[in-house]
Structure 1
Amino acid sequence: MSARRRAIESLYKGICTIFELQKVKDPITHQTSTIEVKVFENQKCKLSYERITSANQTTAPATIAQSTKLFIAPEIVVKSGSKIVVTQQGRTTAFSRSGEPAIFTDHQEVKLELFKEYA
Protein backbone atom coordinates (compact mmCIF):
# COMPACT_ATOMS: atom_id res chain seq x y z
CA MET A 1 0.00 0.00 0.00
CA SER A 2 1.39 3.38 -0.97
CA ALA A 3 2.11 6.13 1.54
CA ARG A 4 -0.42 8.32 -0.24
CA ARG A 5 -3.15 5.69 0.15
CA ARG A 6 -2.31 5.20 3.84
CA ALA A 7 -2.56 8.98 4.32
CA ILE A 8 -5.96 9.13 2.60
CA GLU A 9 -7.30 6.13 4.51
CA SER A 10 -6.11 7.60 7.82
CA LEU A 11 -8.87 10.19 7.30
CA TYR A 12 -11.57 7.50 7.05
CA LYS A 13 -13.70 7.74 10.19
CA GLY A 14 -16.65 5.65 9.04
CA ILE A 15 -17.58 2.05 8.34
CA CYS A 16 -19.96 0.98 5.60
CA THR A 17 -21.86 -2.08 4.48
CA ILE A 18 -22.94 -2.39 0.85
CA PHE A 19 -26.05 -4.30 -0.25
CA GLU A 20 -27.32 -5.28 -3.70
CA LEU A 21 -30.59 -6.73 -4.90
CA GLN A 22 -29.87 -10.10 -6.46
CA LYS A 23 -32.04 -12.75 -8.06
CA VAL A 24 -31.97 -16.06 -6.20
CA LYS A 25 -33.57 -19.30 -7.36
CA ASP A 26 -35.14 -21.46 -4.64
CA PRO A 27 -33.79 -25.01 -5.10
CA ILE A 28 -37.07 -26.57 -3.94
CA THR A 29 -39.75 -24.47 -5.63
CA HIS A 30 -37.52 -23.39 -8.55
CA GLN A 31 -39.01 -19.91 -8.25
CA THR A 32 -36.73 -16.92 -8.62
CA SER A 33 -37.08 -14.06 -6.18
CA THR A 34 -35.13 -10.88 -5.60
CA ILE A 35 -33.50 -10.46 -2.20
CA GLU A 36 -31.15 -7.98 -0.55
CA VAL A 37 -27.63 -9.45 -0.34
CA LYS A 38 -24.72 -8.04 1.69
CA VAL A 39 -21.73 -7.84 -0.70
CA PHE A 40 -19.23 -5.85 1.44
CA GLU A 41 -19.22 -5.39 5.21
CA ASN A 42 -17.26 -3.19 7.62
CA GLN A 43 -15.40 -1.30 4.90
CA LYS A 44 -13.50 1.77 6.06
CA CYS A 45 -14.84 4.91 4.45
CA LYS A 46 -15.49 8.61 4.88
CA LEU A 47 -18.57 10.69 4.17
CA SER A 48 -18.05 14.19 2.89
CA TYR A 49 -20.80 16.80 2.75
CA GLU A 50 -21.05 19.89 0.61
CA ARG A 51 -23.77 22.51 0.80
CA ILE A 52 -24.96 23.85 -2.51
CA THR A 53 -26.75 27.19 -2.41
CA SER A 54 -28.50 28.62 -5.41
CA ALA A 55 -29.71 32.16 -5.17
CA ASN A 56 -30.84 34.48 -7.91
CA GLN A 57 -32.02 38.06 -8.11
CA THR A 58 -35.69 37.26 -7.53
CA THR A 59 -37.81 37.55 -4.44
CA ALA A 60 -37.88 33.77 -3.99
CA PRO A 61 -35.82 32.40 -1.11
CA ALA A 62 -32.46 30.78 -1.82
CA THR A 63 -32.46 27.04 -2.36
CA ILE A 64 -30.05 25.04 -0.23
CA ALA A 65 -29.20 21.45 -1.07
CA GLN A 66 -26.62 19.05 0.28
CA SER A 67 -24.35 16.83 -1.75
CA THR A 68 -22.98 13.69 -0.08
CA LYS A 69 -19.88 11.87 -1.28
CA LEU A 70 -18.42 8.55 -0.08
CA PHE A 71 -14.67 8.03 -0.09
CA ILE A 72 -13.71 4.35 -0.15
CA ALA A 73 -10.97 2.00 -1.41
CA PRO A 74 -10.73 1.84 -5.22
CA GLU A 75 -11.07 -1.94 -5.45
CA ILE A 76 -14.56 -1.97 -3.88
CA VAL A 77 -17.15 -2.30 -6.66
CA VAL A 78 -20.24 -0.23 -5.87
CA LYS A 79 -22.83 -1.21 -8.46
CA SER A 80 -25.60 1.04 -9.66
CA GLY A 81 -28.62 0.77 -7.37
CA SER A 82 -26.61 -0.45 -4.38
CA LYS A 83 -27.73 0.40 -0.86
CA ILE A 84 -24.89 1.70 1.32
CA VAL A 85 -25.29 1.89 5.10
CA VAL A 86 -22.67 4.17 6.66
CA THR A 87 -21.88 4.65 10.34
CA GLN A 88 -19.80 7.76 11.03
CA GLN A 89 -19.64 10.08 14.04
CA GLY A 90 -22.02 7.79 15.95
CA ARG A 91 -24.80 8.01 13.33
CA THR A 92 -25.95 5.36 10.90
CA THR A 93 -27.55 6.42 7.62
CA ALA A 94 -28.67 4.46 4.56
CA PHE A 95 -27.80 5.83 1.13
CA SER A 96 -28.19 4.75 -2.45
CA ARG A 97 -25.54 5.16 -5.08
CA SER A 98 -26.05 8.06 -7.43
CA GLY A 99 -23.91 8.40 -10.53
CA GLU A 100 -20.73 6.71 -11.65
CA PRO A 101 -17.88 6.62 -9.15
CA ALA A 102 -14.76 8.68 -9.77
CA ILE A 103 -11.98 6.11 -9.41
CA PHE A 104 -8.45 7.23 -8.60
CA THR A 105 -5.26 5.27 -7.86
CA ASP A 106 -5.64 5.51 -4.08
CA HIS A 107 -9.40 5.92 -3.55
CA GLN A 108 -12.76 6.37 -5.22
CA GLU A 109 -15.47 8.95 -4.72
CA VAL A 110 -19.11 7.88 -4.98
CA LYS A 111 -21.96 10.41 -5.01
CA LEU A 112 -24.79 9.32 -2.74
CA GLU A 113 -28.44 10.11 -2.11
CA LEU A 114 -30.50 9.25 0.96
CA PHE A 115 -31.95 5.76 0.50
CA LYS A 116 -35.71 5.72 -0.05
CA GLU A 117 -36.29 2.35 -1.72
CA TYR A 118 -34.77 0.12 -4.31
CA ALA A 119 -35.45 1.22 -7.89
Structure 2
Amino acid sequence: MISGKGMRPGDIVTASNGKTIEIVDLATLTGACVVALGPSIAGVFTPNDDLAKELFQASEASGEKFWRMPLEESYWESMKSGVADMVNTGGRQGGAINAALFLKQFVDEKVKVDAR
Protein backbone atom coordinates (compact mmCIF):
# COMPACT_ATOMS: atom_id res chain seq x y z
CA MET A 1 0.00 0.00 0.00
CA ILE A 2 1.34 3.44 -0.91
CA SER A 3 1.82 5.71 2.09
CA GLY A 4 0.81 9.35 2.40
CA LYS A 5 4.47 10.22 1.79
CA GLY A 6 4.40 8.88 -1.76
CA MET A 7 5.05 11.35 -4.59
CA ARG A 8 3.12 11.78 -7.79
CA PRO A 9 3.58 13.93 -10.90
CA GLY A 10 2.61 17.51 -10.13
CA ASP A 11 3.95 17.47 -6.57
CA ILE A 12 6.48 20.13 -5.60
CA VAL A 13 9.12 19.14 -3.07
CA THR A 14 11.73 21.25 -1.30
CA ALA A 15 15.27 19.88 -1.13
CA SER A 16 17.46 20.34 1.95
CA ASN A 17 19.26 23.20 0.19
CA GLY A 18 15.94 25.04 -0.21
CA LYS A 19 15.54 24.51 -3.96
CA THR A 20 12.10 23.43 -5.11
CA ILE A 21 11.54 20.58 -7.54
CA GLU A 22 8.44 19.91 -9.59
CA ILE A 23 7.94 16.16 -9.91
CA VAL A 24 7.04 15.46 -13.53
CA ASP A 25 8.17 11.85 -13.86
CA LEU A 26 8.82 9.04 -11.43
CA ALA A 27 11.21 7.11 -13.69
CA THR A 28 14.95 7.16 -13.10
CA LEU A 29 17.67 8.24 -15.49
CA THR A 30 20.25 5.73 -14.31
CA GLY A 31 19.90 3.65 -17.47
CA ALA A 32 20.72 6.56 -19.76
CA CYS A 33 24.48 6.16 -19.36
CA VAL A 34 24.26 2.43 -20.04
CA VAL A 35 22.40 3.19 -23.26
CA ALA A 36 25.14 5.64 -24.25
CA LEU A 37 28.23 3.66 -23.21
CA GLY A 38 27.16 0.05 -22.80
CA PRO A 39 27.51 -2.20 -19.77
CA SER A 40 31.29 -2.10 -19.27
CA ILE A 41 32.18 1.61 -19.42
CA ALA A 42 31.20 4.04 -16.66
CA GLY A 43 30.20 7.59 -17.50
CA VAL A 44 31.81 10.33 -15.41
CA PHE A 45 30.43 13.85 -15.16
CA THR A 46 32.62 16.48 -13.54
CA PRO A 47 33.38 20.12 -14.23
CA ASN A 48 36.72 19.59 -12.43
CA ASP A 49 39.54 18.85 -14.89
CA ASP A 50 41.96 17.83 -12.12
CA LEU A 51 39.48 15.28 -10.78
CA ALA A 52 38.89 13.92 -14.28
CA LYS A 53 42.64 13.49 -14.76
CA GLU A 54 42.96 11.63 -11.44
CA LEU A 55 40.05 9.39 -12.37
CA PHE A 56 41.63 8.63 -15.74
CA GLN A 57 44.89 7.62 -14.04
CA ALA A 58 42.99 5.42 -11.58
CA SER A 59 41.07 3.91 -14.47
CA GLU A 60 44.26 2.96 -16.28
CA ALA A 61 45.81 1.52 -13.12
CA SER A 62 42.75 -0.54 -12.21
CA GLY A 63 41.56 -1.58 -15.65
CA GLU A 64 38.13 -0.10 -14.94
CA LYS A 65 36.93 1.78 -18.00
CA PHE A 66 35.27 5.18 -17.89
CA TRP A 67 34.50 7.98 -20.29
CA ARG A 68 34.18 11.63 -19.36
CA MET A 69 30.79 12.89 -20.43
CA PRO A 70 29.93 16.52 -21.24
CA LEU A 71 27.98 18.77 -18.90
CA GLU A 72 26.13 20.66 -21.63
CA GLU A 73 24.67 23.60 -19.71
CA SER A 74 22.25 24.51 -22.51
CA TYR A 75 20.31 21.31 -21.70
CA TRP A 76 19.34 22.91 -18.38
CA GLU A 77 16.69 24.91 -20.26
CA SER A 78 14.56 21.76 -20.57
CA MET A 79 14.59 21.36 -16.79
CA LYS A 80 13.14 24.73 -15.88
CA SER A 81 9.71 24.83 -14.25
CA GLY A 82 7.01 27.47 -14.16
CA VAL A 83 6.06 26.55 -10.58
CA ALA A 84 9.37 25.48 -8.98
CA ASP A 85 13.10 26.05 -9.37
CA MET A 86 13.38 22.98 -11.61
CA VAL A 87 11.71 19.79 -12.75
CA ASN A 88 13.13 16.41 -11.81
CA THR A 89 13.78 15.24 -15.37
CA GLY A 90 14.66 16.86 -18.66
CA GLY A 91 13.70 16.00 -22.19
CA ARG A 92 13.99 12.52 -23.64
CA GLN A 93 17.31 13.19 -25.33
CA GLY A 94 20.49 13.66 -23.32
CA GLY A 95 19.08 11.81 -20.31
CA ALA A 96 22.43 11.15 -18.63
CA ILE A 97 23.48 14.77 -19.07
CA ASN A 98 20.14 15.96 -17.71
CA ALA A 99 20.58 13.72 -14.66
CA ALA A 100 24.07 15.10 -14.03
CA LEU A 101 22.85 18.69 -14.41
CA PHE A 102 20.04 17.95 -11.94
CA LEU A 103 22.49 16.53 -9.37
CA LYS A 104 24.83 19.49 -9.92
CA GLN A 105 22.14 21.73 -8.43
CA PHE A 106 22.77 20.12 -5.05
CA VAL A 107 26.57 20.45 -4.92
CA ASP A 108 27.66 23.59 -3.12
CA GLU A 109 29.86 25.73 -5.37
CA LYS A 110 32.28 26.15 -2.45
CA VAL A 111 32.95 22.41 -2.23
CA LYS A 112 36.53 21.65 -3.18
CA VAL A 113 37.35 18.25 -4.58
CA ASP A 114 40.56 16.79 -3.22
CA ALA A 115 41.82 14.93 -6.29
CA ARG A 116 44.81 13.20 -4.77
TM, length-normalised to structure 2: 0.26
Which structure has the highest helix share of the two? 2
Higher relative contact order (CA 8 A, sep 6+): 2
Bigger Rg, which one: 1
TM, length-normalised to structure 1: 0.26
